[in-house]
Amino acid sequence: MLAVHTDHEHIHCHIILNNINLCTNRSFETEENQGKKSERAWAKLRNISDEICREYGLSVIEEPQKSTGISHFERDMQKEGKSWKDKLRVKIAEIAYYSKNLEDFFKNCTESGIEYVYKPNNKYKLKFRMQGQERFTRAETLGEEYTAERIAEQIEQIQKLHHNIAEISKSETSEIPEVKPTEKKEDKWADIHGMQNANIMIAELESAGIDSLNVFKSFMWNIRHDDDHTDELASLKKEIKAVDSLIAKIKHLDEIAPVYKEYKSLKGFRQSRFRKKNADVIEDYEKTVDYIKEYRKPFYADGKPPTIFDLIDKSNALKSQYNALLSEHEAFVVKRDTASKYTRQVKKYLDEQYMKRERERSQQRTFSQQKKKNILE
C-alpha cells in the first residue's frame, strides 16, 4: 500500500508492505537483505523510488551513501532557510552565550520555548524540540558542538571571556566619571513595531488585557497562566454535578416512598400482586436507594452520612467557588483567544528578524576574522 500524505509542508509517502512471503514464509529481510549495505533490498527500493522521481522531475538526494545524516526534507528546508536544525543551532548558540552554566542553560531553553530531554546515563543524552516542531532532535544530529559536554565547555569559555572583558572595561573606565542615562520609558512592544498593521494589532491585544510583548509570548509558548482555571473549573463542575445528582435522587426517593412503604406493609399474595402492579415504581425505589448509598460515601462527615441540607450547602459552596473562578477565567479566555489570532504572524516575524540578525552577526564575525587575518599577514 502506498499512502501519499499532504498533512505537512512537504508531500511525502508511506509505503506498507507484507514482510512475510506468502509462498516461502520467509521474511523480506531474510530473502533480500544480503551482502553489503549498499546492495541490500532497502537500497534497491530507494533506487527504484529515485528513478521514478527523476522521471517525473522530482528532487532526489544524489549519492545518499555519503550523507552526513541530513534528511531529504531537512536538506530542502535548509535551501529555503526554514530548517529546524538550523534554527535550533542558532537558538542554542544564543542561549549558551548568556547562560551561566549547563543548569542555567536548560532553564533558559525552557523560558525561550525550547523543550529538552537530558538523561546523562542514556546513549543519546540530550535532545531538543522548538515550538511547532513535531519531533525531538538529538543533540548529536546537530553537530558535535551541540552535545551536553561541549555546550558546558563552551559556556565555561564564554563566562571566562565575559569576565576578562569586564575586568578590562573596569580598568579602562575607572577614572571616567559616571554618567547617568536619561530615564526613558520602556516600549513593551518595540520588537514588533516593524510588522504590518502592528498598531492595530497592539491596540486589540491591549484592549483584551495583554499589555506587553512578553505577556503575549507567554501565550505563544503556552506557558501556564495563573488565571487559567480550565482544570479547576472542570473539576468543580464534575463535583457539583455529582452533588446535585445526589440531591435529585434523594428528593425523588421521597416522592416514591409512599408506594414502597405501602408495598412493605403488605404480606403474601397481596404483596406479590401489589408489586406486580407497581413494579416500575418499586424497582425505581430500590435502585435509587442503592445509588444514594454508593454516591454519598465521599460526603460522609465524622462517619455519618450527609443529610439533604448538608448536600445543598455543599452544592452552594462549590457553585460560589466556581463562579468566583469563572469571571477571572473568562478574562483569560479573551486574552488567549485574542493572542491566538496573531500568534503565527508574530512568531513568523520574530523568527525572520532573529535569523536576519544572526546572518548579520555571522557576516560581521567573518569580516572581523578576515580583518585579523589580513593584519597578521
What is the DSSP annotation of 325-350?
Answer: HHHHHHHHHHHHHHHHHHHHHHHHHH
Determine which of 8-12, 71-75, 104-108 has the lowest per-residue pLDDT on average: 71-75
What is the C-alpha to C-alpha distance for residues 136 and 148, in angstroms, rounded to an integer?
15
Note whether 325 and 335 are within 8 A (CB).
no
What is the C-alpha to C-alpha distance for residues 48 and 15, in angstroms, rounded to an integer?
13
Note whether 213 and 192 are within 8 A (CB).
yes
β-sheet bridge partners, residue 5: 12
Note whether 332 and 271 are within 8 A (CB).
no
Helices assigned H by DSSP within the chain? 28-32, 41-55, 72-80, 84-97, 102-111, 139-142, 148-172, 198-207, 213-220, 230-265, 268-277, 279-295, 308-376
Comparing 82 with 135, the larger pLDDT belongs to 135
Note whether 108 and 216 are within 8 A (CB).
no
pLDDT at position 68 over 50: no
pLDDT at position 25 over 80: no
Determine which of 103-107, 173-177, 198-202, 206-210 has the lowest per-residue pLDDT on average: 173-177
What is the C-alpha to C-alpha distance for residues 146 and 177, in angstroms, rounded to an integer?
43
For the chain, what's the residue count? Answer: 377
Sorted by sequence, the CB contacts under 8 Å of residue 350 that are 6+ apart come out as: 191, 192
Comparing CA positions, the residue from 320, 309, 256, 251 lying closest to residue 282 is 256
pLDDT at position 291 over 50: yes
Give 318-324's long-range contacts (Cβ < 8 A, gap of 24+). 318/236, 318/239, 318/240, 318/243, 319/240, 321/236, 322/233, 322/236, 322/237, 322/240
**Average per-residue pLDDT for the chain:** 82
Note whether 205 and 216 are within 8 A (CB).
yes
Backbone angles phi, psi at 3, to 5 degrees: -115, 115
- Which set of grid coordinates corresponds to residue 221? 509558548
Instruction: Give the pLDDT band (50/70/90) at residue 116.
Output: very high
Note whether 139 and 148 are within 8 A (CB).
yes
Comparing 50 with 322, the larger pLDDT belongs to 322
Q: What is the pTM of this model?
A: 0.45
pLDDT at position 38 over 60: no
Comparing CA positions, the residue from 115, 65, 135, 78 lying closest to residue 223 is 115
**What is each CA distance from 265 to 255, 283, 304, in whole angstroms?**
18, 16, 28
β-sheet bridge partners, residue 2: 15
Helices assigned H by DSSP within 173-227? 198-207, 213-220
- Which set of grid coordinates corresponds to residue 60? 532526489
pLDDT at position 176 over 50: no
Kindly state the percentage of the chain with pLDDT values over 90. 28
Find the mean pLDDT for residues 293-317: 90
pLDDT at position 184 over 60: no
Instruction: Give the pLDDT band (50/70/90) at residue 222.
Output: confident
What is the C-alpha to C-alpha distance for residues 69 and 85, in angstroms, rounded to an integer?
12
Comparing CA positions, the residue from 305, 304, 276 lying closest to residue 292 is 305
